[in-house]
Amino acid sequence: EADIYQTPRYLVIGTGKKITLECSQTMGHDKMYWYQQDPGMELHLIHYSYGVNSTEKGDLSSESTVSRIRTEHFPLTLESARPSHTSQYLCASSGGQGAANTIYFGEGSWLTVV
Amino acid sequence: GDSVTQMEGPVTLSEEAFLTINCTYTATGYPSLFWYVQYPGEGLQLLLKATKADDKGSNKGFEATYRKETTSFHLEKGSVQVSDSAVYFCALRTTGGFKTIFGAGTRLFVKA
């Protein structure tokens, strides 16, 4: 079992609200990731981090921002939510340098913006 | 660049049928290959992996063999169950690579 946790699991908010999706892992992994996914569809990498104070934008442009102040914590923030942000957001982490290192996922946060 | 191609879904099978989900890849170097499964409303879980050519990964009755000559990693199961209904993602990670590259996913429906 992977020890990576996301909160909230489900969130319905109004347009223009600020939201933060929390992600924590207890495995001591240096690398963390955020993916955006419509139900059962492709995964799109939107942010990643090599370690503390390191963040990069992923392959899909996103209006969200992230921070990495502590190794175990990688929150994602939307300053002003819009209906186009409605999606599932998956947090993940991995450790080590080799190709065999597995990426572990949280259970996801479902965001609906109305 | 590195990429993963999976067969398009959905795949619909009757219980106890044989399952194959095709996956091919393009990569520089010597990648590790993975299959992940996503059940409805959940995140992805590692199903199996193989780290070098000719390795066979297996778990819960699923198997996949790393074929370097055909750059493939097809997922198979001899007898599927209704509970296997999910989306399956093939993925690769290269030596020194930071990212895991995922295929587009294949949805499997198993009917009783």
Over 70: is that where the pLDDT of B89 sits?
yes
> Which A residues in the span 57-96 are in contact with B, Cβ-Cβ below 8 Å?
90, 92, 94
> Which B residues in the span 49-88 are in contact with A, Cβ-Cβ below 8 Å?
49, 51, 87
Q: What sign does the CA torsion over A77, A81, A85, A89 have? A: positive
pLDDT tens by residue, A69-109: 999 999 999 999 999 999 999 999 998 777 678 899 999 99
pLDDT category at A59 given cuts 50, 70, 90 is confident
Over 90: is that where the pLDDT of A7 sits?
yes
Q: What is the mean pLDDT of chain A?
A: 92
**Of the candidates A99, A89, A39, the residue with the CA atom closest to the CA atom of residue B49:** A99
Q: What is the mean pLDDT of chain B?
A: 93
pLDDT tens by residue, B51-80: 999 999 999 999 999 999 999 999 999 999
